[in-house]
Amino acid sequence: MQPENPSTPASSPAQPSVASSAVRSVAIKRVDPLSAAKTVAIICVLVGLVAGAVMLLFTIMGIAVGGDPAIAGIVGAVMSVVVIPVMYGVLGFISGAVGALVYNFVAGIVGGIRIDLGP
């Protein structure tokens, strides 16, 4: 076992960074369109799953009360759990990409969104 060297970082006391207490301002100058598109698409798919599940629930409640025709309603509701999330995902992907492209264009003119990062 080697003796500890007081000059090594492991044995020196932790010193707080001077920059950690200062507020730092950064600007978002560019957003990657593919990254934004994927993120918005996933969020929209999740929202679509919730919307489809709510539609399925209301259809099941309507059938339980005695709505007609029962089988058509349940097939439509089950399809909505598939179709709505897919459509939301596709439209979310497109809108995320277009939104990022528009943001990049505007940020090139005005300099982007400025964010203050504090301690």
pLDDT digits 0-9 by tens, 76-107: 777 788 888 999 999 999 999 999 999 999 99
Q: Is the pLDDT assigned to residue 66 strictly greater than 60?
A: yes
Looking at the domain assignment, is residue 91 inside a domain?
yes
Q: Which phi and psi angles does 113 have, rounded to 5°? A: -90, 130
Q: Tell me the three state secondary structure of residue 95.
A: helix
Looking at the domain assignment, is residue 71 inside a domain?
yes
Identify which has the larger pLDDT, 39 or 19: 39
pLDDT at 15: 54
Q: Are 25 and 114 in contact (CB under 8 A)?
A: yes
31: left (phi over 0), alpha (psi -120 to 50) or beta: beta
Looking at the domain assignment, is residue 17 inside a domain?
no
Range of the domain at 58: 30-107
State the total domains in the chain.
Answer: 1
CA distance 29 to 101: 12
CA angle in degrees (0–180, nearest 5) for 56-57-60 = 85
Looking at the domain assignment, is residue 3 inside a domain?
no
Average pLDDT over residues 11-34: 75
